[in-house]
Protein backbone atom coordinates (compact mmCIF):
# COMPACT_ATOMS: atom_id res chain seq x y z
CA UNK A 1 0.00 0.00 0.00
CA UNK A 2 2.75 2.47 0.96
CA UNK A 3 4.55 1.86 -2.31
CA UNK A 4 1.40 2.47 -4.35
CA UNK A 5 0.69 5.73 -2.49
CA UNK A 6 4.19 7.18 -2.78
CA UNK A 7 4.58 6.29 -6.45
CA UNK A 8 1.28 8.06 -7.29
CA UNK A 9 0.53 11.84 -7.32
CA UNK A 10 1.38 14.13 -5.61
CA UNK A 11 4.67 12.40 -4.75
CA UNK A 12 5.35 10.47 -7.99
CA UNK A 13 8.42 8.88 -6.42
CA UNK A 14 10.14 6.28 -8.56
CA UNK A 15 10.59 2.83 -7.09
CA UNK A 16 14.32 3.50 -6.81
CA UNK A 17 13.51 6.47 -4.51
CA UNK A 18 11.28 4.48 -2.18
CA UNK A 19 12.77 3.44 1.19
CA UNK A 20 14.67 0.19 1.06
CA UNK A 21 17.06 -0.26 3.98
CA UNK A 22 17.82 2.93 5.98
CA UNK A 23 14.53 4.74 6.48
CA UNK A 24 16.12 7.60 8.47
CA UNK A 25 18.57 8.46 5.67
CA UNK A 26 15.76 8.23 3.11
CA UNK A 27 13.64 10.69 5.08
CA UNK A 28 16.55 13.13 5.37
CA UNK A 29 17.01 13.01 1.59
CA UNK A 30 13.30 13.65 1.04
CA UNK A 31 13.42 16.61 3.47
CA UNK A 32 16.21 18.15 1.40
CA UNK A 33 14.74 17.40 -2.02
CA UNK A 34 10.97 17.94 -1.60
CA UNK A 35 9.21 21.29 -1.29
CA UNK A 36 8.13 22.03 2.33
CA UNK A 37 4.42 21.65 1.53
CA UNK A 38 4.95 18.31 -0.20
CA UNK A 39 7.24 17.07 2.57
CA UNK A 40 4.51 17.91 5.13
CA UNK A 41 2.10 15.77 3.11
CA UNK A 42 4.65 12.94 3.07
CA UNK A 43 4.93 13.07 6.85
CA UNK A 44 1.16 12.93 7.23
CA UNK A 45 0.91 9.98 4.84
CA UNK A 46 3.58 8.08 6.76
CA UNK A 47 1.74 8.81 10.00
CA UNK A 48 -1.48 7.60 8.35
CA UNK A 49 0.22 4.36 7.24
CA UNK A 50 1.51 3.76 10.78
CA UNK A 51 -1.93 4.44 12.26
CA UNK A 52 -3.57 2.17 9.67
CA UNK A 53 -1.12 -0.61 10.57
CA UNK A 54 -2.02 -0.32 14.28
CA UNK A 55 -5.75 -0.31 13.54
CA UNK A 56 -5.30 -3.43 11.43
CA UNK A 57 -3.38 -5.24 14.14
CA UNK A 58 -5.44 -4.20 17.15
CA UNK A 59 -8.91 -3.45 15.81
CA UNK A 60 -9.01 -5.43 12.56
CA UNK A 61 -9.96 -2.22 10.67
CA UNK A 62 -8.12 -1.34 7.47
CA UNK A 63 -8.37 1.75 5.27
CA UNK A 64 -7.97 1.64 1.52
CA UNK A 65 -5.05 3.57 0.03
CA UNK A 66 -7.45 6.23 -1.28
CA UNK A 67 -9.18 6.70 2.08
CA UNK A 68 -5.85 6.84 3.87
CA UNK A 69 -4.54 9.60 1.61
CA UNK A 70 -7.75 11.64 1.82
CA UNK A 71 -8.02 11.41 5.60
CA UNK A 72 -4.34 12.27 6.09
CA UNK A 73 -4.40 15.30 3.79
CA UNK A 74 -7.70 16.50 5.26
CA UNK A 75 -6.22 16.37 8.75
CA UNK A 76 -3.16 18.30 7.52
CA UNK A 77 -5.37 20.97 5.97
CA UNK A 78 -7.38 21.39 9.18
CA UNK A 79 -4.20 21.57 11.25
CA UNK A 80 -2.67 24.19 8.91
CA UNK A 81 -5.86 26.31 9.02
CA UNK A 82 -6.07 26.15 12.81
CA UNK A 83 -2.39 27.04 13.16
CA UNK A 84 -2.81 30.03 10.85
CA UNK A 85 -5.82 31.29 12.86
CA UNK A 86 -3.90 30.91 16.13
CA UNK A 87 -0.93 32.81 14.72
CA UNK A 88 -3.19 35.63 13.59
CA UNK A 89 -4.92 35.70 16.97
CA UNK A 90 -1.59 35.90 18.77
CA UNK A 91 -0.55 38.85 16.62
CA UNK A 92 -3.86 40.59 17.31
CA UNK A 93 -3.57 39.98 21.04
CA UNK A 94 -0.37 42.03 21.08
CA UNK A 95 -2.42 45.16 20.35
CA UNK A 96 -4.49 46.83 23.04
CA UNK A 97 -6.72 49.86 23.38
CA UNK A 98 -4.77 53.08 23.70
CA UNK A 99 -6.27 56.35 24.92
CA UNK A 100 -5.42 59.75 23.53
CA UNK A 101 -2.71 61.81 25.15
CA UNK A 102 -3.23 63.61 28.44
CA UNK A 103 -5.61 66.51 28.03
CA UNK A 104 -7.67 64.71 25.40
CA UNK A 105 -10.54 62.23 25.48
CA UNK A 106 -11.09 59.09 23.42
CA UNK A 107 -14.45 58.12 21.93
CA UNK A 108 -14.73 54.59 20.55
CA UNK A 109 -17.72 53.88 18.29
CA UNK A 110 -18.94 50.72 16.59
CA UNK A 111 -21.95 49.20 14.85
CA UNK A 112 -23.73 45.83 14.73
CA UNK A 113 -25.55 44.78 11.56
CA UNK A 114 -27.53 41.83 10.21
CA UNK A 115 -28.13 42.01 6.45
CA UNK A 116 -31.04 39.57 6.53
CA UNK A 117 -32.94 41.83 8.92
CA UNK A 118 -31.80 45.21 7.49
CA UNK A 119 -31.46 46.57 10.98
CA UNK A 120 -28.55 47.48 13.17
CA UNK A 121 -27.31 48.82 16.43
CA UNK A 122 -24.69 51.40 17.31
CA UNK A 123 -22.73 52.17 20.44
CA UNK A 124 -19.91 54.29 21.76
CA UNK A 125 -17.94 54.99 24.91
CA UNK A 126 -16.08 58.15 25.94
CA UNK A 127 -13.04 57.87 28.24
CA UNK A 128 -10.22 60.10 29.47
CA UNK A 129 -6.47 59.55 29.04
CA UNK A 130 -6.41 57.16 32.01
CA UNK A 131 -9.28 55.06 30.69
CA UNK A 132 -11.80 56.44 33.16
CA UNK A 133 -15.41 56.40 31.99
CA UNK A 134 -17.07 59.67 30.94
CA UNK A 135 -20.13 58.73 28.88
CA UNK A 136 -21.62 56.08 26.59
CA UNK A 137 -24.53 55.46 24.25
CA UNK A 138 -26.33 52.49 22.68
CA UNK A 139 -29.04 52.93 20.05
CA UNK A 140 -31.06 50.66 17.75
CA UNK A 141 -31.11 51.44 14.03
CA UNK A 142 -34.51 50.30 12.65
CA UNK A 143 -33.29 50.31 9.05
CA UNK A 144 -29.86 50.44 7.48
CA UNK A 145 -28.66 49.37 4.06
CA UNK A 146 -25.12 48.19 4.84
CA UNK A 147 -22.54 47.70 7.60
CA UNK A 148 -20.64 50.75 6.35
CA UNK A 149 -23.74 52.92 6.57
CA UNK A 150 -24.36 51.66 10.10
CA UNK A 151 -20.75 52.48 11.06
CA UNK A 152 -21.26 56.02 9.73
CA UNK A 153 -24.38 56.39 11.84
CA UNK A 154 -22.34 55.33 14.88
CA UNK A 155 -19.77 58.04 14.12
CA UNK A 156 -22.53 60.62 13.64
CA UNK A 157 -24.18 59.67 16.94
CA UNK A 158 -20.84 59.87 18.69
CA UNK A 159 -20.19 63.37 17.34
CA UNK A 160 -23.70 64.40 18.40
CA UNK A 161 -22.90 63.19 21.92
CA UNK A 162 -19.69 65.24 21.99
CA UNK A 163 -21.60 68.28 20.77
CA UNK A 164 -24.27 67.91 23.44
CA UNK A 165 -21.61 67.53 26.16
CA UNK A 166 -19.59 70.42 24.68
CA UNK A 167 -16.44 68.30 24.73
CA UNK A 168 -13.27 69.38 22.94
CA UNK A 169 -10.00 67.68 22.03
CA UNK A 170 -11.41 64.21 21.40
CA UNK A 171 -10.00 61.37 19.31
CA UNK A 172 -12.87 59.36 17.77
CA UNK A 173 -11.86 55.79 16.99
CA UNK A 174 -13.72 53.50 14.56
CA UNK A 175 -12.68 50.08 13.29
CA UNK A 176 -14.33 50.65 9.87
CA UNK A 177 -11.65 52.07 7.56
CA UNK A 178 -14.09 52.22 4.62
CA UNK A 179 -16.48 54.49 6.50
CA UNK A 180 -13.64 56.78 7.56
CA UNK A 181 -12.30 56.92 4.00
CA UNK A 182 -15.67 58.10 2.67
CA UNK A 183 -15.99 60.73 5.40
CA UNK A 184 -12.66 62.22 4.30
CA UNK A 185 -13.73 62.43 0.63
CA UNK A 186 -14.10 66.11 -0.30
CA UNK A 187 -16.76 65.69 -3.00
CA UNK A 188 -18.97 63.33 -1.02
CA UNK A 189 -22.27 64.36 -2.65
CA UNK A 190 -21.85 61.64 -5.30
CA UNK A 191 -21.39 58.86 -2.76
CA UNK A 192 -24.20 56.44 -1.87
CA UNK A 193 -23.89 57.59 1.75
CA UNK A 194 -23.29 61.21 0.81
CA UNK A 195 -26.21 62.47 2.91
CA UNK A 196 -24.87 60.84 6.06
CA UNK A 197 -21.36 62.12 5.34
CA UNK A 198 -22.81 65.62 4.99
CA UNK A 199 -24.54 65.30 8.38
CA UNK A 200 -21.31 64.06 9.97
CA UNK A 201 -19.27 66.95 8.60
CA UNK A 202 -21.82 69.52 9.73
CA UNK A 203 -21.54 68.34 13.34
CA UNK A 204 -17.78 67.81 13.07
CA UNK A 205 -17.19 71.41 11.96
CA UNK A 206 -18.95 72.63 15.12
CA UNK A 207 -16.48 70.78 17.33
CA UNK A 208 -12.98 71.85 18.32
CA UNK A 209 -9.98 69.55 18.23
CA UNK A 210 -11.86 66.39 17.19
CA UNK A 211 -10.04 63.76 15.11
CA UNK A 212 -11.47 60.70 13.35
CA UNK A 213 -9.02 57.79 13.18
CA UNK A 214 -9.03 54.04 12.56
CA UNK A 215 -8.42 51.51 15.30
CA UNK A 216 -8.11 47.70 15.11
CA UNK A 217 -11.26 45.76 15.95
CA UNK A 218 -9.75 44.09 19.00
CA UNK A 219 -9.03 47.58 20.42
CA UNK A 220 -12.71 48.51 20.08
CA UNK A 221 -14.35 45.92 22.31
CA UNK A 222 -16.24 48.28 24.64
CA UNK A 223 -17.95 50.03 21.73
CA UNK A 224 -18.62 46.66 20.09
CA UNK A 225 -20.38 45.47 23.25
CA UNK A 226 -22.53 48.62 23.33
CA UNK A 227 -23.42 48.24 19.64
CA UNK A 228 -24.69 44.72 20.37
CA UNK A 229 -26.76 46.15 23.24
CA UNK A 230 -28.15 48.77 20.87
CA UNK A 231 -29.05 46.10 18.32
CA UNK A 232 -31.28 44.35 20.84
CA UNK A 233 -32.71 47.55 22.36
CA UNK A 234 -36.05 49.23 21.63
CA UNK A 235 -34.96 52.75 22.57
CA UNK A 236 -31.86 54.95 22.74
CA UNK A 237 -29.78 54.86 25.91
CA UNK A 238 -27.17 57.31 27.18
CA UNK A 239 -25.02 56.91 30.29
CA UNK A 240 -23.16 59.77 31.99
CA UNK A 241 -20.56 59.51 34.77
CA UNK A 242 -21.46 55.91 35.75
CA UNK A 243 -20.69 53.18 33.23
CA UNK A 244 -23.33 50.54 32.44
CA UNK A 245 -22.65 47.13 33.96
CA UNK A 246 -22.51 45.50 30.53
CA UNK A 247 -19.09 47.06 29.76
CA UNK A 248 -17.48 47.22 33.22
CA UNK A 249 -15.34 44.15 32.52
CA UNK A 250 -14.12 45.52 29.18
CA UNK A 251 -13.30 48.90 30.69
CA UNK A 252 -11.34 47.22 33.49
CA UNK A 253 -9.50 45.02 30.98
CA UNK A 254 -8.49 48.03 28.87
CA UNK A 255 -7.31 49.93 31.96
CA UNK A 256 -5.26 46.95 33.14
CA UNK A 257 -3.51 46.84 29.78
CA UNK A 258 -2.40 50.44 30.30
CA UNK A 259 -0.47 49.56 33.46
Determine the structural domain holding residue 85 and report its residue range. Answer: 2-93
Distance CA 81, CA 50 (A): 24
Tally of structural domains, the chain = 2
Can you give the length of the chain in residues? 259
Four-point Cα dihedral 246, 109, 101, 178, nearest 10: 150
Least confident window among 99-103, 186-190, 200-204, 255-259: 186-190
Is there a contact between 174 and 217 (Cβ–Cβ < 8 Å)?
no
- Condensed to tens digits (0 to 9), the pLDDT of residues 162-182 reads 999 999 999 999 999 999 988
68/119 same-domain check: no
Query: Considering the domain boundaries, does residue 98 fall inside one?
Result: no
- Condensed to tens digits (0 to 9), the pLDDT of residues 97-135 reads 999 999 999 999 999 988 777 889 999 999 999 999 999
245/206 same-domain check: yes
Query: Considering the domain boundaries, does residue 99 fall inside one?
Result: no
Query: Considering the domain boundaries, does residue 115 fall inside one?
Result: yes
161, burial (CB in 10 Å: exposed 0-12, middle 13-18, buried 19+): buried
188/60 same-domain check: no
171/230 same-domain check: yes
85/204 same-domain check: no
Point out the domain boundary residue: 60, 93, 126.
Answer: 93
168/211 same-domain check: yes
167/187 same-domain check: yes
116/86 same-domain check: no
Point out the domain boundary residue: 39, 61, 93.
Answer: 93
> Distances in Å between the alpha carbon of 142 and those of 27, 53, 157, 165?
63, 61, 15, 25
Query: Considering the domain boundaries, does residue 100 fall inside one?
Result: no
Query: Considering the domain boundaries, does residue 26 fall inside one?
Result: yes
Query: Considering the domain boundaries, does residue 162 fall inside one?
Result: yes
Query: Considering the domain boundaries, does residue 48 fall inside one?
Result: yes
166/218 same-domain check: yes
Q: When comparing pLDDT for 80 and 136, which is higher?
A: 136
State the CATH number of the domain containing residue 200. 3.30.420.10
163/57 same-domain check: no
Is there a contact between 162 and 207 (Cβ–Cβ < 8 Å)?
yes
Query: Considering the domain boundaries, does residue 130 fall inside one?
Result: yes
Least confident window among 51-55, 145-149, 189-193: 189-193
127/207 same-domain check: yes
Point out the domain boundary residue: 41, 62, 93.
Answer: 93
67/140 same-domain check: no
Strands 237-240 and 133-141: antiparallel
239 Cβ contact list (under 8 Å, min separation 6): 135, 136, 137
Amino acid sequence: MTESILSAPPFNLQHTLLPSINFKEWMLERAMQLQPGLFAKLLMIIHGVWRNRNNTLWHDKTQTAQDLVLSSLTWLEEFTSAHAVNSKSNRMQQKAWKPAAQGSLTLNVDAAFLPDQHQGGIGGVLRDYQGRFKAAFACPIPYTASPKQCEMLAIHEGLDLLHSLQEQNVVVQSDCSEALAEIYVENHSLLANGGIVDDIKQVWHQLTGVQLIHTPRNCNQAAHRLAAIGFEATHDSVWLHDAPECILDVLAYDCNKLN
